[in-house]
Amino acid sequence: MDNRNEISHRWRYSAGEIFAVWQLMFTGGGGIIGQKRSREKRHSLFFSLEAHSGRSFFDDYLLLEKGSGQPVGDSWFTGIETISGQLVFLHSWQQHSPEHQGLWVVSADNGSLVWARPEIVFCGMLDDGLLVYLPTVFAGFPERRYLILDPMTGSERLRLGEDEKAVSEVRASIVPEIRRQGVLLPEIAVPGGNNYEIFRAAGITVSMHCESLSIGSITAAAVHDSDMATGTWRSLLRIWRTEELVYEDLIAEKTSHPAVNGFLVHGGSLYYIKGESELIALDL
């Protein structure tokens, strides 16, 4: 499908044919950190781009254990926890558990390891540090001992221990990651909700799954339509300026599920994933 060219691509990044762009975060220095995953190879790799130009700082980064050089999480069970300035906080998972485990902190500029503490579990970013806990066992029962760390070095700033009141007070000051990074995410469109008149005028029915967001005069939506005959899905990104359609692109087709959570806005730009493996930046 041809794009409406009133909005132009700023850059395109390809994760590789067998990889899916999985996770994105934005650094304080104008960069993008991403995770890409290959189900075929069971590899989880990371990449770092300049947000404005798409220039690559590093790609195909495999997180390795300090010392042994072995892949963290068997090269599969890793992810991005948070960002602080130009530091990227990566994590693994606890064995047989959905809980995260460990922090490996790398530079967004070159991927070099700044510090690592595989024994801790991240809780949240504070104005003056990181809230984490150290899993321990006492008399056969699991316990959590809470600490506040210096994000630059991983060193201990304050030991909260098991003081539930102190921990609760600190937890209340954690700023949600979306707000910290200034990211605008789409929401599921509902009848009578925001942008509903635009969707109705465009022929988007209530039966279709639709995610949307608005910024200024711009409205963007991903419309996910199912083919009852084949049981597959087709996903189309559309962008309107006021009520005029100015951009559209087919982002997925013949998939087993709708391609949800595939676009966002940050810093006046829209980023979306096409065909799982391509990240595209648009100037709004």
What is the rounded CA–CA span in Å between residue 84 and residue 122? 13
What tens digit of pLDDT does each residue of 20-33 get?
999 999 999 999 99
Q: Identify the structural domains of the chain with CATH numbers, from first to last.
A: 18-175 (2.40.128.630)
Best mean pLDDT range from 134-143, 148-157, 169-178: 148-157
pLDDT of residue 194: 63
Confidence class of residue 7 from pLDDT cuts 50, 70 and 90?
Answer: confident
| Nearest CA among 142, 91, 95, 145 for reference residue 118 | 91
Confidence class of residue 115 from pLDDT cuts 50, 70 and 90?
Answer: very high
Cβ-based burial of 145 (10 A; exposed 0-12, middle 13-18, buried ≥19): middle
| Nearest CA among 222, 209, 213 for reference residue 269 | 213
What is the rounded CA–CA span in Å between residue 259 and residue 275? 9
What is the rounded CA–CA span in Å between residue 166 and residue 162? 9
DSSP state of 120: -
| Nearest CA among 103, 88, 31 for reference residue 271 | 31
Confidence class of residue 3 from pLDDT cuts 50, 70 and 90?
Answer: very low
Instruction: Kindly tell me if the per-residue pLDDT of 278 is higher than 60.
Output: yes
What tens digit of pLDDT does each residue of 170-184 get?
999 998 999 999 999
pLDDT of residue 4: 54
What tens digit of pLDDT does each residue of 53-102 get?
999 999 999 999 988 999 999 999 999 999 999 999 999 998 888 889 99
pLDDT of residue 95: 84
pLDDT of residue 136: 81
pLDDT of residue 1: 44
Mean pLDDT of 225-240: 91
Mean pLDDT of 96-121: 95
pLDDT of residue 159: 93
* Backbone region of residue 142 per phi and psi (left: phi > 0; alpha: psi in -120 to 50; beta: other values): beta
Helix (H) or strand (E) holding 177: helix 177-181
What tens digit of pLDDT does each residue of 180-222 get?
999 999 988 766 666 666 666 666 655 568 888 889 989 899 9
What is the rounded CA–CA span in Å between residue 255 and residue 13? 21
